[in-house]
Structure 1
Amino acid sequence: MISPFALNPMHTLSRRGFTALGLTVALAATALHLTATAQGALPPGPITMVVGWPAGGPSDNVARLTALRMSEALGQTIVVDNKGGAGGNIGTDAAARAKPDGSTIMLATATSHGLNSALYAKLNHDPIKDFAPVGMITTSPSVLLVPTNSPFRSVADLLKAAKAEPGKLNYGSGGVGSSQHLAGASFKRIAGVDITHIPFKGTAPAMTDLMAGRVDFVLTTGAMSFIHSGKLRPLAVAARQRLPALPEVPTFEEAGVKGFYTDSWYGLVAPAGTPRPALDKLNAALATALRNPEVQKQFLDQGSLPVQPMGVDEFWKFVVAQMPAAAEQVRISGAKAE
């Protein structure tokens, strides 16, 4: 289309001036459109972040830090709603049924969107069809923790005792199907020992019993505060390299247990049908939060490994691609929903 300005020889603007004016008008229009879209992408009022685990555990810690920083980026409050139980499935069911308008998001984990599909014969939700992606938050390897008064000073000490009296030692977890459960089951298989699993209703009560000496060990993430305060002793990290937060703690490879790694990832999802503009706005707020140096430091201090922000589609490709590996982890470990 020819501009009417080009047909008017009496117009005082030069071609260069017209081009600049046109660009300015176009940019202004685009800015107004983006502002209007962003403002209407999410409903007003607080956003609920469902967490399928009780308060005080590693998942809750990740959720609360993320909610706080995303709230700052959005200028809109995000409230954490803990709905623990059934290996995270109670919270996942509730999030799947929530109104898909951007007012509800959920902390997705390797358990809710991976392990549970293989652990449970029947779920009341489909982890892919009933959800829409928001983005990746972080990943975190497990750390084997024992009470500070434990006689075990190394993984070798623990394995020696386990082999001497099969079934006597026990490990705690946040419940059947939790990352702690699967980590313990895999550790037992790889190390070739018989150790009893004790499921709790969340990681926090498991940690309480561990500190009290009623549980021999727990394999978990997000326990740096217990370690640094001297309440628990770390024996090994289930990663390919030592954690920056625990440089003195060996990996399981270094401790003599070959091939034992865990990778507990955390992300955000929304109910299926949530409009794409809402997902994009939430994703942008998450990316802003993750780029904050203070947030990166906090995740490192928690024993997590910050990740590069992922777009909505990239994150969903990751979730879908890791599900077969999660199912294989369940199969190899021999873990079952009890």
Structure 2
Amino acid sequence: MIHRRCILAAGAVLPFAAQAQAPQAQAPWQPTRPLRMIVPFVAGGSTDVAARLVADQMGEKLGQPVIVENRGGSGGNIGGEMVARAPADGHTLLMGVTGLLSTNPHIYRTMSFSPARDFAPVGMCYTSDLVIVVPLSLPARDLAEFIALAKSRPGELSFGSSGHGASTHTATELFRIAAGIDIQHVPYRGSGGAMNDLIAGNIQMMMIQIAGAVGAVQDRRLRALAVSGPRRHALMPDVPTLAELGFPQATATSWGAVMTTAGTPAPAIARLNQVLREALAMPMVMQRMANAGVDPQASTPEELAAFLVSESEKWGRVVREANITVE
């Protein structure tokens, strides 16, 4: 079950729970052809890394390859729609993330699908703390100096994200509200372009998963100011947490979870959950995920259903307070 940081809520779990019912005992489901795992972002980020690690191992255990496809755009909605409209037979998976599953329904005025209605939970995959990074050219050596600079130039500094509603966007809005600063959002189609512009100094800040920034920080192309999790991260042990710096209300963790198309038979979901959990328990997978800055995190489908409801409520409040909308 999910243990890390008590991220599951104990409240009502509908409507996701309607897709997470325990199956009756019967022969294990087996796929009849290769599976697809849709990653709703461009290649190279922590979501993509985690997806490829578990897809390889799940494929070995299922006897059919699990092929990762990157389908970025619209804050993950393009990839999400592919899975929502796929046959409900267990052969199409989604590496769903915080933004797509819990934030997008609150910010997009029109969506062609509903995550709560059109996806079925399979299991959690990972959690990932974020880090606030700035270019070395910015005259801010620590978080206090960055906040002071932003307050002295209201509306002039900008931050990048991997798209409207992504955790790189909403977690920064949570921090912006807590710090009382006015900085402008510049959305990108994935984190890669945002990071390139950040290093070049075209934008002044980004809050990104540690996996996406650790190399640039170690190479002294970016400066890390704070991590978003409740404790310091092993990959950046010298970087303080937001809570240490006086902003416990801005603590945030992004995550990834494997979903499939709603209506998929319960035996297929049970088998997919089993092989996902087995993959996440493998020492090689655990080590490679840790090296990439993400923490393996398993769950049952029912636990994931409850978590998705609680996360939707949390980030819905941030969306309303920050007045985030997308036409």
What TM-score comes out, normalization by structure 2 length?
Answer: 0.87
Find 1:185's aligned residue among 145, 149, 173: 173
- The amino acid that maps onto 1:241 is R
The equivalent of 1:133 in structure 2 is 121
Specify the SS of the correspondent of 2:202.
coil
Q: Distance in 2 between matches of 1:336 and 1:189?
A: 16
Structure 2 unaligned blocks of 5 or more: 1-24
Moved more, 229-238 or 173-182: 229-238
The answer on 1:157 being equivalent to 2:112 is no
- The amino acid that maps onto 2:77 is N
Specify the SS of the correspondent of 1:286.
helix
What is the CA-CA distance between 1:58 and the residue it aligns to?
Answer: 2.5
Specify the SS of the correspondent of 2:60.
helix
The equivalent of 2:230 in structure 1 is 240
Structure 2 matches for 1:260-299, cutoff 5 A?
260-299=250-289
Q: Distance in 1 between matches of 2:31 and 2:67?
A: 14
Q: Report how many residues are paired.
A: 301
Is the 8 Å Cα contact of residues 40 and 80 (structure 2) preserved in structure 1? yes
Structure 2 matches for 1:13-28, cutoff 5 A?
none
The answer on 1:253 being equivalent to 2:243 is yes
The equivalent of 2:307 in structure 1 is 318
Q: CA RMSD in A?
A: 1.8
Over residues 31-59 of structure 1, what are the superposed CA-to-partner deviations in whole Å (9 max), with x where a residue is unaligned? xx97xx33xx2332321001111112232
Q: Distance in 1 between matches of 2:321 and 2:54?
A: 33
Q: Residue 230 and residue 74 in structure 1: after superposition, are their counterparts in 2 closer, same or farther (change >3 A)?
A: farther
Over residues 268-326 of structure 1, what are the superposed CA-to-partner deviations in whole Å (9 max), with x where a residue is unaligned? 0100111111111111111011111222222222222332x212222222223332222
Find 2:35's aligned residue among 26, 31, 47: 47
Q: Distance in 2 between matches of 1:179 and 1:321?
A: 15
Is the 8 Å Cα contact of residues 46 and 294 (structure 2) preserved in structure 1? no
Is the 8 Å Cα contact of residues 42 and 102 (structure 1) preserved in structure 2? no
The equivalent of 1:143 in structure 2 is 131
Structure 2 matches for 1:90-105, cutoff 5 A?
90-105=78-93
What is the CA-CA distance between 1:230 and the residue it aligns to?
Answer: 3.5
The equivalent of 2:207 in structure 1 is 219
Q: Distance in 1 between matches of 2:201 and 2:55?
A: 33
Q: Distance in 2 between matches of 1:241 and 1:115?
A: 24
Is the 8 Å Cα contact of residues 125 and 296 (structure 2) preserved in structure 1? yes
Q: Distance in 1 between matches of 2:66 and 2:170?
A: 30
State, as a whole percentage, how many aligned pairs show the same letter. 37
Q: Distance in 1 between matches of 2:136 and 2:62?
A: 42
Structure 1 unaligned blocks of 5 or more: 1-32
Find 2:77's aligned residue among 78, 89, 97: 89
Structure with more contact order per residue of length (Cα contacts < 8 Å, sep ≥ 6):
2
What TM-score comes out, normalization by structure 1 length?
Answer: 0.84
Q: Distance in 1 between matches of 2:49 and 2:145?
A: 31
Q: Distance in 2 between matches of 1:147 and 1:45?
A: 47
Q: Distance in 2 between matches of 1:258 and 1:311?
A: 29
